[in-house]
Amino acid sequence: MPVADESAPRLPRTILYTGKGGVGKTSVAAATARSCAARGLRTIVLSTDPAHSLGDSLEQELGPEPREIAPSLWAQQIEAQVELEENWAAVRDWLGRILADRGVLGVAAEELTVPPGMDELFSLLRIRSHHASGDFDVIVVDCAPTGETLRLLSFPDVARWWLDKVLPWERRLVSAARPFAKTFLDVPLPGDDVFADVQRLVGNLVAMNEILRDRERTSIRLVMNPDRMVIREAQRTFTYLNLYGYLTDAVVVNRVFPEELSDSYFGAWRERQREQLEAVREGFAPVPLLLARYFPEEVVGPEMLDRLGAELFAGTEPEKVMHTELAQRITSENGRTVLSIPVPFADRSELDLSKVGQELIVRAGREKRTIILPTALARHRPVGARLESGTLEVSFEDDRPRRADRSAPAAELADRDPVPGGAPAGERDAGGRDRQRA
């Protein structure tokens, strides 16, 4: 393990890569780690993806503990089973006894004692130990596809409430009831070791959330290919990350056909990719784009990873926080959900909104931006919009409880001043789309 410089303690830079499976996420994470290490930064790259391929990408044998594989570079493939045994053993034993009493044995009982996603969550929590150790300058994480595990870290207020209010009282009540439990109940009560595991988990959730929301030191980078389905999935993930307050500081578009292929068999593919790249620029603005070509050989091993890193980070530092603000913000206000979108220098007379299914389309003059809404928000109807200090605020309401009352007045589309020529909020066009005019 590296030796930390105690004379100048500082928090490490943490970069998490996520994206749809098969887009080259692991290769990009490995290339980033090699680029950081080449700059003399003590760097660790670790994989929390259950389908590990980090060792294959680096052409190294990796295990559950960090291993130095190059100067200033360590790598680790976190094993979920090891993390579960260290952090969830008491809870598993207690749940296993309950299931055994009801005839559920063997593999079935073992699977049922681990909630879905918990193994990946414990793998992700390993980041905290590296963060606290001070051993590294940069932590690069190859996350599970689409960042679903990050959603489990998004409820710090609830976790703190359980940690401070509920768990201590539950522990006391169970301790007081234990002498009578065998007489009146046929269910074993949890012991102190079970509460200790749960309390440690909740505390780790709170700590990890604070790490992920530190926008000066931590960011997430989305990796995608210039394909329509992949881009839509990435846009949905992007909105979720903004919803949870996690900073996306760069978008990586991998496997882009180079210009010299325009007149070859791949010319039509190249043209389609060019169109999709425009959609990426519109959909993720103002987050910077990092592009990497489709190399003529597989990106495996130090030489090819270094070529990928050189292409991605030409003229910039790989560890740099490339963007510092959330591109979208979702809040609750007076019973409504409000989506805030920066539109600097926009003229409200040129702004137009429409919602088609899960897509919110924002037009400013000849420019267009498509935002893929989270599933919960996609069920809501836009009922108002206003432009304030360069930020467009779109209000949504759940339309379902109000369907019986068709006579309810449409909400007003408003700014600080009345909008010249503005159409009423909630208006639908001939295609059945919710439209707004700002």
Name residue, tokens 């009578």: 180
Check if CATH label 3.40.50.300 holds for domain 13-83+116-160+205-312.
yes
- Residues shown for the chain: 438
Kindly report, as residue ranges, where domains of CATH 3.40.50.300 are found in the chain.
13-83+116-160+205-312
Q: What is the pLDDT of residues 150-199, one digit of tens each?
A: 666 665 555 555 555 544 544 444 454 444 444 444 555 566 777 777 77
- Give the span between the Cα atoms of 386 and 373, in whole angstroms: 19
Instruction: Calculate the average pLDDT of the chain.
Output: 77
Write down the pTM of the prediction. 0.73
Q: Is the dihedral of CA 365, 368, 371, 372 positive or negative?
A: positive
What are the residue ranges of helices labelled H in 45-191?
54-58, 80-87, 89-101, 106-112, 118-133, 156-161, 167-184
> Which residues are within 8 A (CB) of 17 and not within 5 positions of it... i.e. 6 or more apart?
25, 28, 29, 32, 140, 141, 142, 143, 220, 221, 223, 252
Record the tokens describing residue 174, joined without a space.
Answer: 């169970």
Per 3-state DSSP, the chain is made up of helix, strand and coil in percentages (nearest 5) of 40, 25, 35
Q: Can you name the CATH fold of 329-437?
A: Immunoglobulin-like (2.60.40)
Q: What is the pLDDT of residues 375-421, one digit of tens each?
A: 777 778 888 888 887 788 888 887 665 544 444 443 443 443 333 33
> Which residues are within 8 A (CB) of 429 and not within 5 positions of it... i.e. 6 or more apart?
354, 435
Name 221's bridge partners.
17, 250
Mean pLDDT for the stretch of residues 307-330: 92
Instruction: For residue 5, count CB atoms less than 10 angstroms from its CB and return exposed for 0-12, middle for 13-18, buried for 19 or more.
Output: exposed
Kindly report, as residue ranges, where domains of CATH 2.60.40.790 are found in the chain.
329-437
Peptide bond before residue 286 is cis, with ω within 30 degrees of 0: yes
Name residue, tokens 């768990």: 167
